[in-house]
Amino acid sequence: MNKGRTIFAQVMDHIPVQEFQKCVIRYGGDRNRRGFSCWDQFLCLAFAQLTYRESLRDIEACLRSVGSKLYHMGFRGKVSRSALADANEVHDWRIYADFAQVLIHMARPMYASEPLGFDLDNTVYALDSTTIDLCLSVFPWARFRSRKGAVKMHTLLDLRGPIPTFIEVSDGKMADVKILDTIVPEPNAFYVMDRGYVDFERLHAFHAAGAFFVTRTKKGIKLRRRYSHAINASTGVRSDQTVVLDSDSARKNYPDTLRRIHYYDAEQDRHIRFLTNNFDLPALTICLLYKSRWQVELFFKWIKQHLRIKVFYGTSENAVKTQIWVAISIYVLIAIVKKRHELEPSLFQILQILSITVFEKVPIPQAFGEVEPQEKYRDFSNQMNLLGL
């Protein structure tokens, strides 16, 4: 069925084009397209992500070198630097943000049965943000500090996969904790976050919605112990207590009880104190839940290393956000391709192979049929292996 079709075209076949067009229509993306549609723009940026292109000139040169193949790869407009630059300026970035959510909704069920590494049936999310540095003189709209520009990517990562389920791109000055106001808590799900997100009024909203949170205490938080529970000291747990906020003013923000767990990490010789509103799980499981939060850190590190979200093809806010959302779409799309074709290589290996085979005319499984055992890629893909991909 795929005889004579490029691997790039086969990968793009996994995109629900009708859903993409719904996003385009929603924001009037092709109202004045001038021969270069939102779909052409998406294909150009997808190609750039898959093949690590550095600039608009780079994208144009590579695609024009295979001009006879472009039509069969899905391109309908003439590929040029000016056309792509104009599209990055005028095509609303929300088109690609909404479409990324479409792909995320497709991918999540595929990874729903992935193991967490410990016994827990609930959905577990890790919440964190990463800062993407920008040159203030080139991106003056992204002022972060007096001499520095930046945007933040706030991400809620489903740890079964891991697939990002919520992403917000904000200015660099936005406090991390404010993102809690935009997340709709899912009952019985666990939200794991660092102490930068400790705001008891916001956390109580999660508690009231039936969701659980796991975080760390901060200096200056005064808690009063009500009960102490039995522990197994051999696990590293030093105490497991039911506590309440000490002052009347603080209890107005969080009037219910909390659970405080003191854990000693012998490997790094440090004491860690966790806060949660879950009283049913074993204390050690709560500690393991917090440890799993580092998967979102690895996710940030991975996409910064292997996708193009540090060097941008345009300088406007619209162009930057478009590129970030297309990068996320490609990450999720490759995760979908991996599952649908039952590919053994990690996402890193898949991207590496795709980068040099996008113009090959062989079925996707055949392109990965002779990939060497994953152990030989350990130096390159170890970080992604930790994520289970």
pLDDT averages per 10-residue partition of the chain, 389 residues: 78 95 93 81 94 91 88 86 92 96 94 83 93 91 88 93 88 92 95 94 96 93 92 92 91 95 91 96 93 90 85 92 94 94 87 89 83 42 42
Contacts 24+ apart (CB under 8 A), 62-70: 66/359, 69/6, 69/359
Q: What is the dihedral of CA 99, 103, 108, 109, to 10 degrees?
A: 120
Give me the pLDDT at residue 373, please: 43
Token representation of residue 90: 């005028």
Token representation of residue 162: 């891991």
- Centroid of chain to Cα 85: 26
Within 10 angstroms of residue 77's Cβ, the number of other Cβ atoms is 19
**Interstrand relation of 223-228 and 237-245 (parallel, antiparallel or unpaired):** antiparallel
Within 10 angstroms of residue 227's Cβ, the number of other Cβ atoms is 10
- The CA radius of gyration of the chain, in Å to the nearest whole number, is 23
Give residues with Cβ within 8 angstroms of 255, minimum separation 6.
204
Q: What is the rounded distance in angstroms from the CA atom of residue 286 to the CA atom of residue 150?
A: 34
Give residues with Cβ within 8 angstroms of 173, minimum separation 6.
143, 144
Nearest Cα to Cα of residue 329 among 157, 97, 158: 97
Q: Could you give phi then psi for residue 15, rounded to 5 degrees?
A: -90, 130
Domains of the chain: 7-97+314-386 (no CATH), 195-292 (3.30.1370)
Give me the pLDDT at residue 202, please: 96
Q: What is the rounded distance in angstroms from the CA atom of residue 154 to the CA atom of residue 125?
A: 13
Nearest Cα to Cα of residue 71 among 40, 31, 46: 40
C-beta separation of 20 from 5 below 8 A: no
pTM value is 0.87
Token representation of residue 118: 């410990």
C-beta separation of 170 from 154 below 8 A: yes
Q: What is the rounded distance in angstroms from the CA atom of residue 326 to the CA atom of residue 307?
A: 10
Give me the pLDDT at residue 2, please: 54
C-beta separation of 331 from 359 below 8 A: no
Token representation of residue 279: 């009283």
In the numeric block, the tokens 């799980």 are attached to: 281
Nearest Cα to Cα of residue 48 among 81, 18, 15: 81
Q: Under DSSP, is residue 378 helix (H, G, I), strand (E, B) or coil? A: helix
Q: What is the rounded distance in angstroms from the CA atom of residue 41 to the CA atom of residue 88?
A: 8
